[in-house]
A = this chain, B = another copy of it.
Amino acid sequence: MARRTGRRPGNPDTREAILGAAREAFAERGFDAASIRAIATSAGVDPALVHHYFGTKEQLFKACMNFPIDPAEVFPKLLADGPDGLGERLVRTFLAIWDSPAGVPAVALMRSALTNEWTARLMREFVATQLIRYVLPRLDMDPAEAPLRASLVATQMAGLAMIRYVLKLQPLASAPPEVVVAAIGPTVQRYVTGDIGQRE
């Protein structure tokens, strides 16, 4: 019999069975099409138990990803002051998270997404759903351009994480946050609100 974790409720085997089924469902069918009922069936438990252990479907998704931050908390704060200065705020917040203890699971998650097609799929789905839920409704953005803008932001943020925290290329790896914010903030700002050369 597996040992109970002090912090989390429920039987750890059941929790793991639910998480395994949920990861498979989210990666295969996507967030919207994956149902708690189907996840519960595949894990051999009652749907009520899934809700009891993990809360909403979205909370279950976050638990699957072991994501280092809660987008429901971070994004509304970032976006509260509107699009002006968003690029700098985003880079500053990102650095604060990665420079904190949360940076350790973040590096692990990034490595996993890069080496495991299944985590990559989960990550794509996670980015897309979080974007639709928390970012787009708060920014006055042309919906036709939003997905490209979001993936451009992703290139810059993922690359920053990779070079600063994983490859640790100097001098960026030890540059003070404000140097990074001044250099990279304007890039992110342009990807969100500036001219990105769309000519279609």
List chain A positions with a Cβ less than 8 A from chain B: 110-111, 113-115, 120, 123-124, 127, 147-148, 151-152, 154-160, 162-164, 166-173, 175, 179, 182-184, 186-187, 190-191, 196-199
State whether B168 touches A148 (Cβ < 8 A). Answer: no
Copies assembled: 2
Given contacts A115-B115, A186-B190, A190-B187, A124 and B155 within 8 Å (CB-CB): no
A27 vs chain B, min Cβ distance (A): 13
Q: Which of B169, B179, B199 contacts A182 (CB 8 A)?
A: B199
A197–B172 contact, CB under 8 A?
Answer: no
Are B162 and A114 closer than 8 Å at their CB atoms? yes
Cβ of A120 and Cβ of B168 under 8 Å apart?
Answer: yes
Q: Which of B114, B151, B156, B175 is the one whose CB lies under 8 Å from A156?
A: B156
Select one of B151, B159, B190 contacting A155, CB under 8 A. Answer: B159
| Contact of A148 (CB < 8 Å), options: B111, B151, B172 | B172
Inter-chain contacts of A160 with B (CB < 8 A): 155, 159
Q: Are the C-beta atoms of A152 and B120 separated by less than 8 Å?
A: no
